[in-house]
Amino acid sequence: MILWVLPAENIKQRLRCKTKVYPDELPNTSVVIVFHNEAWSTLLRTVYSVINRSPHYLLSEVILVDDASERDFLKLTLENYVKNLEVPVKIIRMEERSGLIRARLRGAAASKGQVITFLDAHCECTLGWLEPLLARIKEDRKTVVCPIIDVISDDTFEYMAGSDMTYGGFNWKLNFRWYPVPQREMDRRKGDRTLPVRTPTMAGGLFSIDRNYFEEIGTYDAGMDIWGGENLEMSFRIWQCGGSLEIVTCSHVGHVFRKATPYTFPGGTGHVINKNNRRLAEVWMDEFKDFFYIISPGVVKVDYGDVSVRKTLRENLKCKPFSWYLENIYPDSQIPRRYYSLGEIRNVETNQCLDNMGRKENEKVGIFNCHGMGGNQVFSYTADKEIRTDDLCLDVSRLNGPVIMLKCHHMRGNQLWEYDAERLTLRHVNSNQCLDEPSEEDKMVPTMQDCSGSRSQQWLLRNMTLGT
């Protein structure tokens, strides 16, 4: 039995969605599902939910792309089984393990629908999932749309409703993250939660796109391996090149979120993801790629291949700079649009650097020997007078400290610092005290002291860049 867990507000929102009327003439879609050694039950659950919960006149075909699975039941047994299903189901076999990106490209090339809908192989589509996606593309063919992704437990397969109050973002390490929908987006929708949410990025596993627009916008970067980073690359490209990316809140698709990936990455997970992320950074992020490079210094050693074709694509499409994206699409990004410095913060007296030492929110910032390699010693002093590393800011809530790292809240207050470039002091505005060297009690933690102008209160803010 599948259990549905729906908060009261979600029930209200879904009831409002049920009153929406969509045009009779919607574009049809090919549903492309890539699988690699997928369990029989989860794969068929995905396929059956697509067939049973989609109007068949809108469903051109289901294309299953086998990325070199090794399990016997995914071969002839599967081929014989799908012959008896109600809509055409085509199976395409990759000759060797190629990864999600290239397998999806193969499926897209074989598709016939006016829209291509990509799904992961461990999903469950709900009633009414398809029409809202296709209707939005009918309104604007340059809009790429995602459903709300509900959670299916990988332990019990319980179906739990996702939230229409989150959207996609990313951090300095170019990891996709869900964040609360900002007030500016709520205001744009005028309180109507059935309207799509404009999202800076997409998770990438589930989305629909006009097939011609998919070609025009440059499909996927075929130079990327397996998967990882392709979702951000496509998100940046869509926004910067004149399209839009939305979460259609009246469309719900469940997804099994595994605790760990069961797949192998030829060459190693880190190498593959670093290569993919570096390709997207080099092509789309302009000077803001430095945030990624200096917090993840190992990435600059990775061979990322030739990106000249992708840069030419960007030129031909007359795409906007990444600064435009940060200013207009993702102003609440963890990457500040304007900043004074990006790099280490070095104490003049001790010649040591602020260091987050892998610490997390609500923990004290550290100070350690400067290593010049970025990573934990990367801080940005922003135009908003924050001292931040990724989404954490230095925060002082009382006189004499301590200095802790809290989520950046953009409300200034306890996170407001003034750097005097002549005196080299970092003054905390609320307490009117200055950042100072560690005390004798704890030599790994900086302190807050009354401003005296001493060398121990002098700090050098250094700009660093590790990219080539």
Q: Tell me the Ramachandran region of residue 68: left when phi exceeds 0, alpha when psi lies from -120 to 50, beta otherwise.
A: left
CATH number at 21 reads: 3.90.550.10
On whether the CB atoms of residues 182 and 168 are closer than 8 A, the answer is no
As beta bridge partners, residue 256 has 152
pLDDT band at 467 (very low <50, low <70, confident <90, very high): low
> Scanning the structure block, which residue is given the tokens 């549905």?
4
Residue 6 has pLDDT above 60, yes or no: no
Q: Is a pLDDT exceeding 90 seen at residue 43? A: yes
Query: Does the residue 57 lie in any domain?
Result: yes
Q: Does residue 270 form part of some domain? A: no
In whole angstroms, give the CA distance from residue 167 to residue 182: 9
3-class SS of residue 61: strand
Measure the CA angle with vertex 31, ends 278 and 168; round to 5°.
Answer: 40
The string of pLDDT tens digits covering residues 199-235 is: 999 999 999 999 999 999 999 998 888 778 899 999 9
Q: CA-to-CA distance for 156 and 75, rounded, in angstroms?
A: 27
Q: What is the DSSP string of 280-349?
A: HHHHH-GGGHHHHHHHSGGGGGS-----HHHHHHHHHTTPPPHHHIIIII-TT-SS-SSEEEEE-EEETT
Residues 373 and 245 occupy one common structural domain: no
Chain segment 80-136, per-residue pLDDT in tens = 999 999 899 999 999 998 888 999 999 999 999 999 999 999 999 999 999 999 999
User: Given this model, what pLDDT does residue 185 score?
Assistant: 93
Tell whether 42 and 149 lie within a shared domain: yes
Domain that holds residue 371: 339-461
Least confident of 68-82, 221-235, 236-250: 221-235
- Tell me the CATH number at 379: 2.80.10.50
Mean pLDDT over 166-191 rounds to 93
Confidence check: pLDDT of 459 > 50? yes
Helix (H, G, I), strand (E, B) or coil at 427: strand
In single-letter form, the type of residue at position 64 comes to L
How many angstroms separate the Cα of 150 from the Cα of each of 30, 46, 192?
22, 14, 20
Which of 256, 281, 299 is the endpoint of a domain? 256
Rounded Cα distance between 410 and 407, Å, is 9
Average pLDDT, the chain: 91
pLDDT at position 450: 96
CA distance linking residue 98 with residue 204, whole number of Å: 17
| Category of 292 on φ-ψ map: left (φ > 0), alpha (ψ -120 to 50) or beta | alpha
| Residue 158: predicted pLDDT | 86
State which of 223, 256, 289 marks the end of a domain: 256
Range of lowest pLDDT (12-16, 36-40, 148-152, 236-240): 12-16
Which residue is it, tokens 């397998």?
A: 103
Task: Note whether residue 381 is domain-resident.
Answer: yes
Q: Give the Cα separation of 141 and 126 in Å (integer).
A: 24
Does some domain include residue 362? yes
Give the single-character DSSP code of 26.
-
For residue 33, the cross-strand partners are 64, 119
Q: Could you tell me if 60 and 181 lie in one domain? A: yes
The answer on 354 and 234 residing in a single domain is no
pLDDT at position 468 is 45
Domain boundary among 256, 287, 312: 256
Supply the pLDDT for residue 261: 61
Q: How far apart are CA 36 and CA 264, in angstroms?
A: 10
Q: Helix (H, G, I), strand (E, B), or coil: what is residue 232? A: helix
> Is 112 contained in some domain?
yes
Helix (H, G, I), strand (E, B) or coil at 92: strand
Q: Within a 10 A sphere around the Cβ of 280, how many other Cβ atoms? A: 26
pLDDT of residue 24: 85
pLDDT at 18: 86
Residue 242 and residue 344 in one domain: no
- Same domain, yes or no, for 218 and 86? yes
Q: Rg of the chain over CA atoms, in angstroms? A: 25
Confidence (pLDDT) at 246: 98
Is 345 found in the same domain as 231?
no
344 and 247, same structural domain? no
Q: Which of 7-21, 316-330, 350-364 has the lowest mean pLDDT?
A: 7-21
Identify the pLDDT of residue 310: 96
Pairing of strands 379-382, 339-343: antiparallel
Asked if pLDDT for residue 7 goes beyond 60, the answer is no
At 418 the pLDDT is 97
Give the DSSP H or E segment for 236. helix 230-240
Does the pLDDT at position 260 exceed 90?
no
The residue type found at 101 is I
How close are the terminal C-alpha atoms of the chain, in Å? Answer: 55
Number of domains in the chain: 2
- Give me the half-sphere count of Cα atoms (radius 13 Å) on the Cβ side of residue 120: 22
Mean pLDDT of 236-248: 98
Same domain, yes or no: 28 and 133: yes
What's the mean pLDDT in 158-176?
A: 90
Q: What is the pLDDT of residues 345-381, one digit of tens each?
A: 999 999 999 998 876 788 999 999 999 888 899 999 9
Q: Evaluate if residue 274 carries a pLDDT over 90.
A: no
In a domain, 133, yes or no: yes
pLDDT of residue 9: 55
Residue 60 lies in a domain: yes
| Residue recorded with tokens 């309104």 | 139
| 283 belongs to a structural domain | no
Q: What is the pLDDT of residue 1?
A: 36
